[in-house]
């Protein structure tokens, strides 16, 4: 009869061991599940951070596009207005002293119109590039229409200004058209 107690005791030990192993398996599976949840959390956090960075980049690009549109959106209109300026300038340069005396009000009207055109240009960030004869040729602002050897000049000196150029804020809208010396001193 001693055997049944011993068997019960062994059964109790086996049962305790089985429960311990079951608890270990449960802990192991919970640890695996916890690791999976942490990995998933880290993945979501990474995605969220990237989405946040993307949103910030999109906002910055939008701000830049808005600023560019404000500053340069009228460049086509401005470019189309340049011949008006050129013609007004030619008209003013062609006025003789006799014409000034004969029709002073008309001449004053032309001068006021030119002044107002320049004020509107300035208001919208348009500035004149007005090189002078003798200035150094700058390919960033000037367009060489011809090259000729002119005595008494250096190569690269401006010898004639055909048309003034224009900048729209910090961008070249139209280069000044100039003639450039090819003489070597």
Number of domains in the chain: 2
pLDDT digits (tens, 9 = 90+) for 5-52: 667 777 777 777 777 777 667 778 888 888 999 999 999 999 999 999
The model carries a pTM of 0.67
Structure token digits, residue 63 = 């701000």
- Token look-up 């004639």 returns 160
The percent of residues above 70 in pLDDT, for the chain, comes to 95
Question: What average pLDDT score do residues 129-144 get?
Answer: 95
Q: How confident is the model at residue 1 (pLDDT cuts 50, 70, 90)?
A: very low
Share of the chain above pLDDT 90, in %: 71
Chosen domain end from 72, 104, 134: 72
In this structure, the answer to whether residues 155 and 78 fall within a common structural domain is yes
Q: Is the pLDDT of residue 112 over 60?
A: yes
With contact defined as beta carbons under 8 Å apart, do 162 and 142 qualify? no
End-of-domain residue from the set 14, 47, 72 = 72
Domain final residue, candidates 17, 42, 72: 72
Q: Does residue 67 register a pLDDT over 80?
A: yes
85 and 50 within one domain: no
User: Ramachandran region of residue 10, left (φ > 0), alpha (ψ -120 to 50) or beta?
Assistant: alpha
In the predicted model, is pLDDT for residue 165 greater than 90? Answer: yes
Task: State which residues form the domain around 61.
Answer: 1-72
SS3 of the chain: CHHHHHHHHHHHHHHHHHHHHHHHHHHHHHHHHHHHHHHHHHHHHHHHHHHHHHHHHHHHHHHHHHHHHHHHCCHHHHHHHHHHHHHHHHHHHHCCHHHHHHCHHHHHHHHHHHHHHHHHHHHCCEEEECCCCCCECCCCCEEEEEEECCCCCCCCEEEEEEECEEEECCEEEECEEEEEECCCC
Average pLDDT, the chain: 89
The pLDDT of residue 129 is above 90? yes
Domain co-membership, 77 together with 66: no
For residues 172 and 129, state if they share a domain: yes
93 shares a domain with 34: no
Residue 2, pLDDT > 60, answer no
Same domain (yes/no): 112, 47: no
Asked if 14 and 68 sit in the same domain, the reply is: yes
Residue 148 Cα to chain centre, angstroms: 39
| Residues 39 and 108 reside in one and the same domain | no
Residue 3 has pLDDT above 70, yes or no: no
């Amino acid at each position: 009869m001693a055997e049944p107690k011993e068997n019960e005791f062994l059964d109790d030990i086996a049962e305790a061991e089985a429960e311990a192993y079951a608890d270990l398996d449960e802990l192991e599976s919970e640890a695996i599940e916890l690791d999976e949840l942490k990995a998933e959390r880290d993945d979501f956090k990474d995605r969220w951070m990237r989405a946040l960075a993307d949103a910030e980049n999109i906002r910055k690009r939008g701000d830049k596009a808005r600023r560019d549109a404000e500053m340069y959106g009228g460049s086509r209109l401005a470019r189309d207005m340049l011949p008006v300026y050129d013609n007004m300038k030619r008209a003013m340069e062609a006025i003789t002293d006799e014409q000034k005396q004969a029709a002073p009000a008309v001449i004053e009207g032309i001068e006021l119109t030119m002044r107002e055109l320049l004020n509107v240009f300035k208001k919208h960030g348009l500035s004149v590039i007005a090189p002078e004869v003798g200035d150094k040729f700058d390919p960033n602002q000037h367009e060489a229409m011809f090259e000729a050897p002119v005595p008494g000049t250096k190569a690269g000196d401006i010898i004639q200004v055909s048309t003034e150029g224009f900048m729209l804020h910090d961008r070249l809208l139209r280069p000044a058209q100039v003639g450039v010396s090819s003489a070597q001193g």
